[in-house]
A and B are shown apart, each in its own frame.
Chain A
Amino acid sequence: MNIGDTAPPFELPSTDGSSHSLDGGPTAVVFTCNHCPYALAWHDRLLAVARDYDGRARVLLINPNDAERYPRDSADAMRERVEGDGGWPAPYLRDESQEVARTFGAKTTPDVFVVDREGRLAYRGAPDSDYEDPSQDAAWLRGALDAVLAGDDAEPAETDPVGCSVKWRQ
């Protein structure tokens, strides 16, 4: 998927059983998982974005990894993680078929896609420039959300996603 392309529709279940989809508002779709150190290093920053943009933009966290080979990414393990944290400010969705990850072209966990009000891809890449530096504060993701909320183009609109490869079914 390229910048400006229409994001593919989807509907996925979250850890609490509710279903979530792109609803027309600005949305950050973040492919992530339980077991990747890069996803874990950026996790708190992503949840902070969900809290800070609540009511203005949504964050949807999607785990697409093959849970047969990586049981730590199973639906049960996802639920345990969220419940263990006392809940998250963003839904954690299970892409069991991996179809959503494939249609978005997700490569890594994390891999961030920001979709604007028209459903077009406005940003794709990493949350920020350095998983080791919490002060980066998901700056690229925040910048993209600020841009789509203002009706502007994201700058940068595209960065290289950094993380573990998505674990596809074999």
Chain B
Amino acid sequence: MWWEGCPSTARAHELLREALAGEGLDPDGVKLVEIETEGDAERERFVGSPTIRIGGVEVAPVKDEPVGLSCRVYRLRDGSVSPTPDPDDIREAIREAIS
């Protein structure tokens, strides 16, 4: 799920496609959902762009982030801040979803 106020959508899409392909899955099997309004965000429990769910499960667990139109802050496995999830977290979520 993405919101136009953040420039990280393309990068997140690329990471997700790479992870799917790496697990032998179809990289085109990604459904992109634009979150346009605060109402959309409330309905989808969207805490920021990009949000990646695999089988309905968040790639990165939601902590105390408020629902709304904003850019999501991810913490990578090396501790640094990023606008996109750690690729290893994406891969792990895919493996859990298909296991």
Complex Cα spacing A2 to B81, Å = 31
Cβ of B60 to closest chain A Cβ, rounded Å: 12
Residues of A within 8 A of B80 (CB): 41, 132, 134
- Could you say which interface size class chain A belongs to? 10 to 19
Partner of A37, one of B5, B68, B71: B71
A37 x B73 contact (CB < 8 A): yes
Interchain residue pairs with CB less than 8 A apart (12): A35-B73, A36-B73, A37-B8, A37-B83, A38-B7, A40-B73, A41-B82, A69-B68, A132-B80, A164-B5, A164-B7, A165-B6
Q: Chain B: interface residue count, which band?
A: 10 to 19
B13 touches A (CB below 8 Å) = no
Q: How far is the CB of B67 from chain A (nearest CB, A)?
A: 12
Q: What residues of chain A lie closer than 8 Å to B83, measured between beta carbons?
A: 37-38, 41, 131
In the complex the two chains form, is B81's CB within 8 Å of A162's CB? no
Interface of B is mostly: loop
Complex-state Cα separation, A131 to B83, whole angstroms: 9
CB distance from B24 to the nearest CB of A (A): 27
Give the chain A neighbours of B68 by CB distance below 8 A: 69-70
Q: Is the pair A35, B70 in contact by a Cβ cutoff of 8 Å? A: yes
> B-side interface residues toward A, CB under 8 Å?
5-8, 66, 68, 70-74, 80-83
Q: Is the CB of B71 within 8 A of A70?
A: no
Is A163 part of the contact surface with B, judged by Cβ < 8 Å?
yes
Q: Give the 5 A-B residue pairs with the shortest CB-CB distance, closest first.
A: A37-B83, A40-B81, A164-B71, A37-B73, A165-B5
Query: Bound state CA distance, A41 and B75, in angstroms?
Result: 10
Measured CB to CB, the closest approach of chain B to A40, in angstroms, equals 4
Q: Which of A36, A134, A162, A167 has the most CB of B within 10 A?
A: A36
Query: Which of chain B's residues have a CB closer than 8 A to the CB of A70?
Result: 68, 70
Query: Which A123-170 residues have C-beta < 8 A from chain B?
Result: 131-132, 134, 162-165, 167
Closest residue of B by beta carbon distance from A41:
B81
Please give the distance in Å from B13's CB to the nearest CB on chain A.
16
Distance from A98 Cβ to chain B, minimum over Cβ atoms (Å):
16
Expressed in whole angstroms, the minimum distance between the Cβ of B37 and any Cβ of chain A is: 12
A37 to chain B, nearest CB (A): 4
Interchain nearest-CB distance for A64 vs B (Å):
14
Give Cα A105 to B5, complex, Å: 17
